[in-house]
Structure 1
């Protein structure tokens, strides 16, 4: 049943090699000439990450799309994305990784930021002035990471929220209006969070409308007005991306993937996948494995 294409999955603790670790969070500043071997292979992360590229250049694949990132820039990844560095080149970066639990914290209060909105594209080019502003938050987190003073987790968490908020209002992102506390924006944020959790088993807009106490038509109209896509399009995009990831890993047959994503049968899954990608699952699987191996 298994094949030889199974990629590793990392969490925050796998990356946090420091004297005073902080559960669910890690930050460092480093310069790469030769990329670490574990980053050169496709891998999946169970945490969020923000990388500030201060100078130099790096080439990465993120969910099967190639990005050449030249500093100054910021790269934002969310859990379960497939990520890979390619080649070696000199670049200086600040790496920030954190778990959902750290971002939310023990109070259960969620982030005020719609991460799905912030991460509309994983790579954002920065001006020198924008980088300077973002580095202000990063420097404070780096300083606190070396501290043994009480409440450092609270200070770091507050700085992290501020950093994400600052990124969300960068002019080129055009999403600052999405973060204001209006009813439509609250619906978008709640839908984004719910669909991240339930897209496999709740595939119809009506499912989310029920959970949000609105009508399906109102939910679709609200999502489209804010994000430019219908709620159904977003649900389908999440299902397709997870299907691509599962096809790449090689841990499951196509029939098992169809079952995992709650399709009635693999024939329906084949038609759904081809409609959205132009490829059958088998064709995509063959081409993506040849590309990465």
Structure 2
């Protein structure tokens, strides 16, 4: 099945051993043991696993044993997760959340259910009437099932429960100040702890450093502005508190791998852009 904006493929895990990134959203389905690397942060996986990635995240799947990986790829032009957020609340749950794990284990029943929808998608004839609607329906079912299963892993809806109370405070402070304050020492001072103590606690909880979290917040907000609004790159640079467009572009390319203008060209401007004027 070939489509510029929507496809399902099956590859060996060797295919994803090297860094992979493109303009699509991805849903990976596989059974095995190994590591997922997302923007250079490692996560272990065991057994039947589903894994989600957003456009131009740098990802790898590393497994000692070769495993089959099913991948559903979709572009925002085919299905905008922001536009459809009322139907399937996956944005911030399955995609685009820097605090939540990007993957989780599935029961055999749910794994087979999602795999069956992958197969149904491959059987759809794109030349038939309403094929686009049928494909979107299958995608929504996969997203809904995945959201349901991930919600089961977050029964209290609290992202942080820890004896180190500053963790939640750190989250709140980053969300409040990340546009103007990108240095770790600023947050450590407000929390009355050393930068080293804060780094160790955050790293233990989220598998990434506080500096990585701050960077990811900036990049995530930048991606939203580029994709979900019609603002110029210069305007976005100003809103994100960069000295000028050049410094913003350099920062963005360092962490994403492409320039902001190229990101906009590849991902397009969302159909919900007019809602963000």
Q: TM-score, normalised by structure 1?
A: 0.49
Note if contact 1:22-1:153 (Cα within 8 Å) is conserved in structure 2. Answer: no
Determine which of 155, 162, 170 is the counterpart of 2:141. Answer: 162
Note if contact 1:52-1:94 (Cα within 8 Å) is conserved in structure 2. Answer: yes
Do residues 110 (structure 1) and 84 (structure 2) align?
yes
Do residues 122 (structure 1) and 102 (structure 2) align?
yes
Note if contact 2:28-2:71 (Cα within 8 Å) is conserved in structure 1. Answer: yes
Going from structure 1 to structure 2, the CA distance change for 1:237 and 1:85 (only over 3 Å counts) comes to closer
Do residues 50 (structure 1) and 27 (structure 2) align?
yes
* Counterpart for residue 68 of structure 1: 44
* Counterpart for residue 23 of structure 1: 4
Do residues 262 (structure 1) and 244 (structure 2) align?
no
Note if contact 1:73-1:125 (Cα within 8 Å) is conserved in structure 2. Answer: yes
Note if contact 1:168-1:175 (Cα within 8 Å) is conserved in structure 2. Answer: no
Note if contact 1:46-1:79 (Cα within 8 Å) is conserved in structure 2. Answer: yes
Q: TM-score, normalised by structure 2?
A: 0.52
Note if contact 1:169-1:176 (Cα within 8 Å) is conserved in structure 2. Answer: no
Do residues 153 (structure 1) and 129 (structure 2) align?
no
Q: What runs of 5+ residues in structure 1 fail to find an aligned partner?
A: 1-17, 179-198, 205-233, 244-257, 270-283, 285-293
Render the CA deviation track for 1:225-262: whole Å, top value 9, x for unaligned: xxxxxxxxx9875116789xxxxxxxxxxxxxx98953
Q: What runs of 5+ residues in structure 2 fail to find an aligned partner?
A: 159-174, 181-212, 223-236, 249-254, 256-277
Return the offset for 1:42.
2.5
Determine which of 206, 217, 220 is the counterpart of 1:238. Answer: 217
Aligned residues: 177
* Distance (Å, rounded) in 2 between the aligned partners of 1:241 and 1:59: 23
Going from structure 1 to structure 2, the CA distance change for 1:84 and 1:237 (only over 3 Å counts) comes to closer
3-state SS, counterpart of residue 23 of structure 1: coil
Determine which of 64, 74, 97 is the counterpart of 1:98. Answer: 74
3-state SS, counterpart of residue 102 of structure 1: coil
Going from structure 1 to structure 2, the CA distance change for 1:241 and 1:101 (only over 3 Å counts) comes to closer
* Counterpart for residue 54 of structure 2: 78
* Distance (Å, rounded) in 1 between the aligned partners of 2:239 and 2:19: 22
Return the offset for 1:138.
1.9
Return the offset for 1:96.
0.3
